[in-house]
A and B are shown apart, each in its own frame.
Chain A
Amino acid sequence: MAAKGYKAAARRTLEHAPEVREAVTRATLHFDRNRERAYGEVEAEAWRDWAAATKRHTLSRLDRYLLEAERNLTAPGTEVHWAEDAKDAQRILQELVERYGVRRVVKGKSMLSEELGVNEHLERLGVEVFETDLGEYIIQLAGEPPSHIVGPAIHKGLEEIRALFHERLGTPPDASPETLAAVARRVLREAFLTADMGISGANFVVAETGTVVLVENEGNIRLTTSTPRVHVVFVGIEKLLPRARDLEVFLQLLARAATGQKIGTFVSLINGPRREGEPDGPEHLHVIFVDNGRTSVLADREMHEALSCIRCGACLNACPVYRQTGGHAYGQVYSGPIGIVLTPGLKDPRLAEDLGYACSLCTACADVCPVRIPLPKQILTWRVRSTKHAPATERLAFEGYAEVMTRPRFYRLSSKLLRLTAPLTGAPWLPVLGAWAAGHGALEPSPKSFREIWEEELDGA
């Protein structure tokens, strides 16, 4: 997307698809209210401190924990692979598809697989791919990417989904949500029972035990990881937790932050491929550790904390900017506050020139983040960095502003000047103030400055 990507896309959304704002606002406010209630039921502040400290610790010893996880994953027969980037990951997947003669894949929701372009690659290989999360299935039918980390289709209202199912699956145009879900269940049930490979992400990987942990509400991930004979896990290298006991807080905190539940309805704790004597389960389990820019974020001393993210979506739900447009306007896999911080680090720092301004610096995201990522500070840092590429006129203007604000005499002079020119600030034709004037009326300064009033009062006393 072009340099002005977010702004232009946001305008398009608001002008041409106002129903998106309505659907997204309703859904995020609902999520956020539930989160707030759920935090209130427990010692959320202490949980968040503990979880943040545990994640920071894990990241500070990441090499050690990766090796420990690899050792414990391999012991019961899981094969571990390493992918530096999307190409690497696609190559590994292709090898597995060929090795097992895979024709049909069922997928559990995974943001990492979006990063890696897994679906597109499988389709190029002639493999049939079924997204099985109901929301993901809806947007797969619509040919769109997810717009929210947790609720990928929250930008779509019931009417739009009805029309989509009517067109693609032949349901009645006024079908109830139950009917629509039942139809999706039937289509996907068939896919579960005939697929050769299941692909999932991972919410956590426990280093101590080599356990892959997945959280969901529908049961589609349990099925994806249980019915096909091969299970492939894509996992970002930052998803590690040291000990099994750490899950006690993380499973509950994740659910409370994301949807306000006590725990995800289904939690899978996967320890290896099917064992002797077990009646079912995949015969082959492959875990692919993916870097894809994460080591660059880890090396960035002002951004590395963003790798603590557990993808709960709480910052998206709390963000007044996200609520207006939903995730698509960001033009990236990760949207909302965490998307603004992670995307330039994972992909290209220059993206911050655009994304850094999809933020009002209200700091609501920091108030809700379960692992206390300093998102507003990091967004501000990206803005500071992006000024290096700002046009010379803008840089000069801000340097001049700094000069004025730090010198009392200049300040007094310029405030007098402003008092004279104030009526002009409402004029949209002033090129320098164009964007500002679009959202503000003319300034109405008091006839005297505060200093003048203060000095007069002192004289009078």
Chain B
Amino acid sequence: MPDARSRILQRVRRALEGRWPVEAPTRPWRPAVEETGAVARFLAHAKASGVEAHRFEGPAAARNWLEDWAAGFKNAAVSPLIPEALRPSLPAAPPEKAELGVSRALAAVADTGSVLLSSTEGRRLQLLPPAHLVWVDESEVVQHLGEVLGRLADDPPSALALHSGPSKSADIGQIMVQGVHGPGRLVVAVVRGLAELEADPTEPASTREAPSHTPKTTPPAALDWEAVHALEDHRLATKRGDAFTVEKVTENTAVVRVSSSNKTYTLRRRCLEKAARLASAGTPIPGPAAYRKLACNEAPAYAWAILHTLDLI
């Protein structure tokens, strides 16, 4: 006897029988080109939706602000992804008891004034404390929402979320109330040089302050990209034993194809280099979970396997 699934699909097919399929619009929506910079637009839009948005020229300035600002709280639940220098000096508390939650955003979107958060750091600390502080690197602020949606196709964590303001409701007589279930305060701090600080957390933040408007210098990579090139067309296996092939290596990315599902994932050179740097500085990266936590969220199983093959971690 056919089950509900096949009966529903059969009814769908019968309903569509004899109809021409409607063509999809030829390409995803292409938003307008913006004249204002992404960071300025982000800050303006976020503030308009009730976000307390700040911008810092470097981690040291951010640190200074944090020390004063965080003094207003008793305790905090802090994401494991936050570098030491930007963790508030407050006693740690579980999210359901904490007065403040501190997150590291993957990105920020100027169009909508949103920050993109990942479940990798934990979801409760993003939701339960009445105030939520979110750090994001200046280079991670993009103009358009479409620019961050690609992450959904790239071995995403169990949940991503866009937060665009404090929790609010007008369900009681059309009167706006803040902090209904989620945080009643959303504070976003855009910091120049946060990613560099994370890549090389050994140096104290104060000495790392880059003078404004000079090109960023990346520390030399422990990863020889040529070695990754040499893996092209090689068949490797993840720690769990899933086979995949390094299909194509370009200047900045490596594409792998998983043998069982035939899915492809793109690994960024920047991420692989970051992990290699951390490993060469003595941080142990025993498996994909640690890679995900310390380096990048993208396809950690495959990225880790490549670095492991090259004896870098």
Whether A and B are associated in the same complex: the answer reads yes
User: Which single residue of chain B is at the shortest CB-CB distance from A65?
Assistant: B12
Contact call B182/A227, Cβ cutoff below 8 A = no
Query: Which residues of the other chain, A, contact B31 by a CB distance below 8 angstroms?
Result: 248
Chain A residues with CB under 8 A of B32: 43
When the two chains form their complex, are residues A53 and B16 in contact, meaning their CB atoms are under 8 A apart? no
B118 to chain A, nearest CB (A): 9
* B251 interface residue (CB < 8 Å to A): no
Nearest B residue to A270, CB-CB? B159
For residue B9, CB closer than 8 A to chain A, the reply is: yes
Given contacts A53-B22, A252-B112, A295-B8, contact A267 B161 (CB under 8 A): yes
Q: A277 and B292 in contact (CB under 8 A), knowing A244-B149, A247-B145? A: yes
Number of CB contacts from chain A to chain B under 8 A: 260
Pick the contact of B145 from A133, A227, A248, A279 — CB < 8 Å? A248
Q: Which residues of B contact A50 (CB under 8 A)?
A: 25, 29
Q: Which segment of B133-141, B170-178, B190-198, B214-222 sits at the interface?
A: B170-178
Q: Is the CB of A281 within 8 A of B15?
A: no
Asked if B124 and A219 make an inter-chain contact with CB atoms under 8 angstroms apart, the answer reads no
Q: Which of B5, B152, B167, B292 contacts A218 (CB 8 A)?
A: B167
- A226-B124, A244-B150 known; A291+B11 contact, CB < 8 A: yes
Whether the Cβ atoms of B153 and A265 lie closer than 8 Å is no
Interface size counted on chain A using CB atoms at 8 A: 100
Q: Which residues of B contact A178 (CB under 8 A)?
A: 177
CB–CB B159/A298 < 8 A? no
Complex Cα spacing A299 to B17, Å: 9
Among A75, A134, A248, A272, point to the contact of B29 (Cβ < 8 A). Answer: A248
A136 to chain B: closest CB distance in Å?
8
B213 within 8 A of A: no
B157 near A278 (CB under 8 angstroms)?
yes
Using A63-B12, A244-B150, A262-B45 as known contacts, say yes or no to A157 and B173 having CB atoms under 8 A apart: yes
Interface string of A291-307 (1 = CB under 8 A from B): 10001001100001000
Main secondary structure of the interface of B (DSSP, over half): loop
Chain A 192-232, CB within 8 Å of chain B: the 1/0 string? 11000000000000101101000001111011011100000
- Bound: A223/B111 CA distance, A: 25
Does residue A326 face the partner (Cβ distance < 8 Å to B)? no
A82–B114 Cα distance when bound, in Å, is: 34
Q: Contact flags (1/0) for A134-158 with B, using CB distance below 8 Å?
A: 1100100000000000011110111
Question: B289 on the interface (CB 8 Å rule)?
Answer: yes
Assuming the contacts A53-B22, A177-B177, A227-B124, asked whether A83 and B4 have C-beta atoms less than 8 A apart, the reply is yes
> 1/0 contact trace for B1-23 toward A, CB 8 Å?
00111011101111110011111
Docked Cα-Cα span, A267 to B165, in Å, equals 11
Q: B22 to A208, Cβ gap below 8 A? A: no
The CA-CA distance from A177 to B172 in the complex, in Å, is 6
Select B156's contact among A43, A271, A281, beta carbons within 8 Å: A271
Closest residue to B19 on the A side, CB-wise? A60
Q: Tell me, in angstroms, the Cα distance from A43 to B145 when the chains sit together.
A: 16
Q: Report yes or no: A274 in contact with B119, Cβ–Cβ below 8 A.
A: yes
Collect the chain A residues with CB atoms within 8 Å of residue B292's CB: 277
Q: Mark A259-299, 1 if CB is under 8 A from B, else 0.
A: 00111111111111111111111000000010100010011
Q: Of the candidates B171, B172, B293, which one forms a contact with A133 in the assembled complex, judged by CB atoms under 8 Å apart?
A: B171
What B residues does A335 contact at CB under 8 A? none
In the complex, chain B residues whose CB is within 8 Å of the CB of A159: 173
Q: Which residues of chain A are within 8 angstroms of B114 by Cβ–Cβ distance?
A: 263, 267
**With A and B bound together, what is the CA distance between A66 and B11 in angstroms?**
13
* Contact A132–B181 (Cβ < 8 Å): yes
Contact among B24, B164, B293 with A53 in the assembled complex (CB-CB below 8 Å) = B24
B58 within 8 A of A: no
Residues from chain B with a CB closer than 8 A to the CB of A177 are 172-173, 175, 177
Q: Is A56 close to B, CB under 8 A?
A: yes
Contacts of A268 in B (CB 8 A): 159, 161
Q: Which residues of B contact A154 (CB under 8 A)?
A: 171, 174
Q: Which of B272-289 contact A (CB under 8 A)?
A: 289
With a CB–CB cut-off of 8 A, which chain A residues contact B15?
295, 298-299, 304
Please report the C-alpha to C-alpha distance between residue A248 and residue B142 in the assembled complex, in whole angstroms: 13
Docked complex: A25-67 residues within 8 A CB-CB of B: 26-27, 30, 43, 47, 50, 53-54, 56-63, 66-67
Flag whether A364 is at the interface (Cβ < 8 A).
Answer: no
Q: Is B37 an interface residue when CB atoms closer than 8 A count as contact? A: no
B237 contacts across to A, CB distance below 8 A: none
**Residues of chain B within 8 A of A264, CB atoms compared:** 164
Query: Residue of A at shortest CB range from B27?
Result: A245
Task: For B80, list chain A residues within 8 Å (CB).
Answer: 279
With a 10 A CB-CB cut-off, give which of B5, B15, B31, B112 has the most chain A CB atoms.
B15
Interface residues of A (CB under 8 A from B): 23, 26-27, 30, 43, 47, 50, 53-54, 56-63, 66-67, 75-76, 82-84, 88, 132-135, 138, 151-154, 156-159, 161, 177-178, 180-181, 184-185, 188-189, 192-193, 206, 208-209, 211, 217-220, 222-223, 225-227, 237, 242-249, 251-252, 261-281, 289, 291, 295, 298-299, 304
9 A-B pairs (CB sep. < 8 Å): A57-B24, A135-B171, A219-B183, A245-B149, A267-B114, A269-B156, A269-B160, A271-B159, A279-B122
Interchain residue pairs A-B with the least CB separation, the first 7: A219-B182, A158-B173, A135-B171, A277-B289, A299-B15, A295-B11, A279-B122
